[in-house]
Amino acid sequence: MKRTMVVAAAMLFAGMGASAADEGCITCHGDAAMMKALYQPPSVAATEAEG
């Protein structure tokens, strides 16, 4: 509970000045052409079985 309250407070105060739009992350993750260029298809080992 104590940890939850600390996280909640951190999120509230951090969120007051920041938003996803301000971040560098979406420079790439908001750009479909950029993500297409960077994307690497997964490589699955032949020994991997189905779940």
Partner 1 sequence: MYKGFVIDLSLLNSDPHLSQGCTTCHKGDDKATDRTKAHSGLVKRPSDDPELCAVCHPDVAANYSLSLHYTTAGFKNGVRPRFSESEAAIYDKKVFEQSCRSCHASCGDCHVKSPTISGVDIGLLSGHKFVRKDEAKTCALCHGGRVYPEFNGDYGGNADVHYQKGMSCVDCHKAAGLHGNGVAYPDMRAVAEKPTCVGCHPAGAEASDKAKQAHAVHGDKVSCSACHSSAEYRGCSSCHLGEGATDAPMFVLGRNPRMPGQLTTLRLVPTVRDTFAKAGIAQANYDAVQNLWDSVPHNTKKRTDRTRDCATCHDQQAHFLTVDSLPVGGAEANKALIFNFRK
Is there a contact between 28 and 35 (Cβ–Cβ < 8 Å)?
yes
Min separation Cβ 50 and partner 1, Å: 4
- Taking the alpha carbons at both ends of the chain, their separation in whole angstroms is 35
**In angstroms, what is the minimal distance from the CB of 16 to partner 1?**
9
Per-residue contact flags (x/-) with partner 1 for residues 15 to 34, judged by CB under 8 A: x--xxxxxxxxx-xxxxx--
Say if residues 32 and 38 touch (Cβ distance below 8 Å): no
Chain positions contacting partner 1, by CB under 8 A: 3-4, 7-8, 10-11, 14-15, 18-26, 28-32, 35-36, 38-39, 41-45, 47-51
